[in-house]
Amino acid sequence: MTIYNFSAGPAVLPQKVLETAQSELLNYRGSGMSVMELSHRSSLFDEIICSAESLLRDLMKIPNNYKVLFLQGGASLQFSMVPLNLAQGKKALYVDTGSWSKKAITAAKAIPKVNVEIIASSQDKNYSYIPELPQTVDQEAAYVHITTNNTIEGTAYTTIPNFGKVPIVADMSSNILANDYQVTDFGLIYAGAQKNIGPAGLTVVIIREDLLNQEAIFAPMLDYTLQVKNNSMYNTPPTYSIYIAQLVFEWLKEQGGIDSILKQNKEKAAVLYDAIEKSALFESPVRQDSRSLTNIPFITGTAELDKAFNQAAVAEGFQNLKGHRSVGGMRASLYNAFPLEGVKALVTLMDKFESEHGGK
Amino acid sequence: MTIYNFSAGPAVLPQKVLETAQSELLNYRGSGMSVMELSHRSSLFDEIICSAESLLRDLMKIPNNYKVLFLQGGASLQFSMVPLNLAQGKKALYVDTGSWSKKAITAAKAIPKVNVEIIASSQDKNYSYIPELPQTVDQEAAYVHITTNNTIEGTAYTTIPNFGKVPIVADMSSNILANDYQVTDFGLIYAGAQKNIGPAGLTVVIIREDLLNQEAIFAPMLDYTLQVKNNSMYNTPPTYSIYIAQLVFEWLKEQGGIDSILKQNKEKAAVLYDAIEKSALFESPVRQDSRSLTNIPFITGTAELDKAFNQAAVAEGFQNLKGHRSVGGMRASLYNAFPLEGVKALVTLMDKFESEHGGK
């Protein structure tokens, strides 16, 4: 049985990347060592981390005045690091688009000397859309924080707001490298790796130089400037995860880069959204103009049928299709490495299920 | 050519662990997925993390009133987390035994409302010994922090001090699982994984329940109590590193556990220390009673001969034998997975080198 892994993260990785990792696992390029065994100060690992950065810069067209960091702690640690580094004694503006932005807001509020303000929210309709943002914001604010893609709710920004000199800070965990956002539209981007980059335990941060903190942060590991000065090696970085990320970046380049993968992602998402639109049973809880390409929730309208469908899906070899425990229903996460055939197979199952269980 | 990897970390892993990882890399136990692709909320990953904890508890005889955490950020993040969680408004006592304890001290001093005091130091003799500790300490202090093994200087504690109700907090990064320390002698133990546990990017924390912080820490990811409540899954943990750790723990159990590995470690270290003692060229910079079993520095006395020996070592396939950039000379890191044959091969090279280059 073919297994299709719809997990929201850690998620499916490109088969070719896993095959390369497997072939090199005991002996990396004739070194007689696994990448896991390489000193992070060795020339072999230096090549890996430099290549990872260079490929990422190439794929995302990251200008030279942005620094790239490979850190630990996930987006959740960034929720605290961003206000700690950027907003001491300042206002920090947030857009509330669901579970993860709420966590970012709560974390920012807990940082002393940061004045958190929510400038827009879609909580009124259960986060089923990206809210309209104000035309202008306080120009003294440290930043406006957005969550470009809401993994749980299945919404995404199609255009990135511009607030003059106030930089946009983005949690891009679930659609980095899956969209054609321009890095120059952001002051800082962060993303946990476990969706489109590589294994869990690696966090990518892209930060515009002028936003780097001038004063030291009380904890070295939380200090962007210190991490930049040390090229992400203030201490031992998650070396193996960086290696896998580098392989994923290489694979993505071979796929034709962002433009090409975005075309594929649009095609995959269209197959599923079209099926949902045509269905009398399944529906999307998300407003049409706010729908994510990477995380697509859908529901039948009853908990019983959701459960029955999820059981049928597991029996077909569809893994992790169940919606997030906080919202229920189903959710198909169609990251870069998820194959079109898997979406088609899902749609086939949906058709079959609908014909057996009828419309609502 | 056989490669022997003397790296201080990331370090050599057991061949059997790497072989298992390789064989399971594309398809973990028939799931059709790599461990890297498993959702951290899946039953398959749950088995892995539970098994890792259970094996570690078994190996280290960790009592039930201690919690085990699998975190990120390395020992360097613990340098900040320990005083942040344990010493707010209190005195924190430190023993200064070299580079890593200095970093721990500096990080603690940067935490507001923590009163850091150094109760002993071996700085006077270039950290070449473990200093004598005072008989008693202020019983109101939050903890006494020690570095059980000093990776760079090559010193280690043979006995763990007891200060009554003041708990010992230990950075055990470079000799956890390589020594027969009793967990009950400590209040908190932390260790970066990249020496004796698994790949870089995983940090193990073992904490006695009564030391868990009562008040929330301003950053959720830095909050021990929150991490305990969430079984290390407040956010996505470094799943693949935890999997490799679990395989390493299994391997260690198959080796006969700590007693058996300690016997092997003593034998490996004795081969090298004996050679150093007998040599007219090589010497140990470390006082005899303070010598580490896991990190063994040695020098010729001249930078030229050190360099020549390091070159000869690389030519023989001995990787990462060069001493830390801060101290020079040579350093053999003989962690659990390092084979006795590698030590014997090193001694053979030392003999050959000495006969060619004469005594001092």
| Residues B3-35: tens digit of each pLDDT | 999 999 999 999 999 999 999 999 999 999 999
Choose the final residue of a domain: A222, A254, A286. A254
Of B1, B3, B76, the CB nearest to A221: B76
pLDDT of A327 reads 80
CB contact under 8 A, A221 and B22: no
Candidates A41, A44, A35; CA nearest to A17 is: A35
Query: Is pLDDT above 60 for B345?
Result: yes
Asked if residue A159 and residue A277 are part of one domain, the reply reads no
Query: Is pLDDT above 70 for B292?
Result: yes
pLDDT of B1 reads 87
CATH of the domain at A281: 3.90.1150.10
Domain that residue A215 falls in: 15-254
- Average pLDDT of A231-250? 98
What is the share, in percent, of chain B residues with pLDDT greater than 70? Answer: 99
The answer, for A197 touching chain B at a CB cutoff of 8 Å, is no
Asked if residue A319 and residue A194 are part of one domain, the reply reads no
Asked if residue B94 and residue B149 are part of one domain, the reply reads yes
> How far, in Å, CA of B298 to CA of B349, rounded?
14
Tokens 């039948």: give the residue: A300
CB contact under 8 A, A201 and B238: yes
Is B10 domain-assigned?
no
What's the gap between Cα B149 and its chain centre? Answer: 7
Asked if residue A290 and residue A150 are part of one domain, the reply reads no
Tokens 């702690």: give the residue: A73
pLDDT in tens, A290-325: 999 999 999 999 999 999 999 999 999 999 999 987
CB contact under 8 A, A40 and B201: no
CATH of the domain at B49: 3.40.640.10
Asked if residue B227 and residue B262 are part of one domain, the reply reads no
Choose the final residue of a domain: B254, B275, B303. B254
| Residue to substitute from A12, A106, A171, A194, interface B, most B β-carbons within 10 A | A194
What does the block give as tokens for A258? Answer: 């962002």
Choose the final residue of a domain: B254, B287, B320. B254
pLDDT of B216 reads 94
For helices B43-60 and B239-254, angle between their N-to-C axes, nearest 10 degrees:
40
As a whole number, the mean pLDDT across chain B is: 97
Query: Is pLDDT above 60 for B360?
Result: no
Asked if residue A281 and residue A230 are part of one domain, the reply reads no
The answer, for B191 touching chain A at a CB cutoff of 8 Å, is no
Residue from B171, B223, B268, B322 carrying the catalytic annotation: B171
Asked if residue A342 and residue A204 are part of one domain, the reply reads no
Query: Is pLDDT above 80 for B358?
Result: no
Per-window interface: A 34-73 vs B, CB < 8 A: 34, 36-42, 72-73
Per-window interface: B 205-234 vs A, CB < 8 A: 216, 218-222, 234
The answer, for A310 touching chain B at a CB cutoff of 8 Å, is no
pLDDT in tens, A72-121: 999 999 999 999 999 999 999 999 999 999 999 999 999 999 999 999 99
The answer, for B21 touching chain A at a CB cutoff of 8 Å, is yes
Asked if residue A276 and residue A250 are part of one domain, the reply reads no
Is B5 domain-assigned?
no
- Average pLDDT of B170-188? 98
To the nearest whole angstrom, how far is the Cα of B358 from the nearest Cα of chain A? Answer: 31
Query: Is pLDDT above 80 for B220?
Result: yes
B219: chain A residues, CB-CB within 8 Å: 77, 80, 84, 107, 110-111, 222
Asked if residue A126 and residue A175 are part of one domain, the reply reads yes
Contact A203, A77 (CB under 8 A): yes
Is A4 domain-assigned?
no
A237: chain B residues, CB-CB within 8 Å: 200-201
Query: Is pLDDT above 60 for A360?
Result: no
- Average pLDDT of A210-226? 96
pLDDT of A328 reads 86
B11: chain A residues, CB-CB within 8 Å: 37
> How far, in Å, CA of B177 to CA of B288, rounded?
22
pLDDT of A1 reads 87
Asked if residue B268 and residue B232 are part of one domain, the reply reads no
pLDDT of A359 reads 58
Is B345 domain-assigned?
yes
Contact B8, B195 (CB under 8 A): yes
Of B12, B32, B216, the CB nearest to A37: B12
B325: nearest CA partner in chain A: A41
> How far, in Å, CA of B95 to CA of B133, rounded?
8
> How far, in Å, CA of A83 to CA of A91, rounded?
9
Contact A201, B238 (CB under 8 A): yes
For helices B43-60 and B257-278, angle between their N-to-C axes, nearest 10 degrees:
60
Residue from B67, B195, B268, B322 carrying the catalytic annotation: B195
> How far, in Å, CA of A7 to CA of B40, rounded?
10
Query: Is pLDDT above 90 for B328?
Result: no
CB contact under 8 A, A236 and B9: yes
- Average pLDDT of A24-41? 97
Candidates A143, A118, A114; CA nearest to A133 is: A118
Contacts 24+ apart (CB under 8 A), A208-212: A208/A65, A208/A66, A208/A167, A209/A65, A209/A66, A209/A67, A210/A65, A211/A86, A211/A167, A211/A187, A212/A67, A212/A85
Query: Is pLDDT above 90 for B343?
Result: yes
pLDDT of B324 reads 87
Is B106 domain-assigned?
yes
A202: chain B residues, CB-CB within 8 Å: 201
Residues in chain A: 360
The answer, for B305 touching chain A at a CB cutoff of 8 Å, is no
ipTM over 0.95: yes
Asked if residue A49 and residue A20 are part of one domain, the reply reads yes
Query: Is pLDDT above 60 for B123?
Result: yes
Query: Is pLDDT above 60 for A229?
Result: yes
Contact A199, B240 (CB under 8 A): yes
Per-window interface: B 87-126 vs A, CB < 8 A: 107, 110-112
Between B360 and A273, where is the model more confident?
A273
- Number of Cβ atoms within 10 Å of the Cβ of B246: 24
What does the block give as tokens for B104? Answer: 């721990």
- Average pLDDT of B48-61? 98
pLDDT of B12 reads 97
To the nearest whole angstrom, how far is the Cα of B160 from the nearest Cα of chain A? Answer: 27
> How far, in Å, CA of B181 to CA of B304, rounded?
39
pLDDT in tens, B61-79: 999 999 999 999 999 999 9
DSSP H or E segment with residue A311: helix A303-315
- Average pLDDT of A337-343? 98
Of B110, B192, B220, the CB nearest to A218: B110
| Residue to substitute from B3, B24, B29, B33, interface A, most A β-carbons within 10 A | B33
pLDDT of B325 reads 79
pLDDT of B359 reads 58
Contact B4, B345 (CB under 8 A): yes
Residue B349 burial (C-beta neighbours within 10 Å; 0-12, 13-18, 19+): middle
Is B334 domain-assigned?
yes
Contact A78, A103 (CB under 8 A): no
Asked if residue A269 and residue A250 are part of one domain, the reply reads no
Tokens 């690992």: give the residue: A45
> How far, in Å, CA of A195 to CA of A172, rounded?
10
> How far, in Å, CA of B197 to CA of B296, rounded?
19
Number of domains forming the structure of chain A: 2
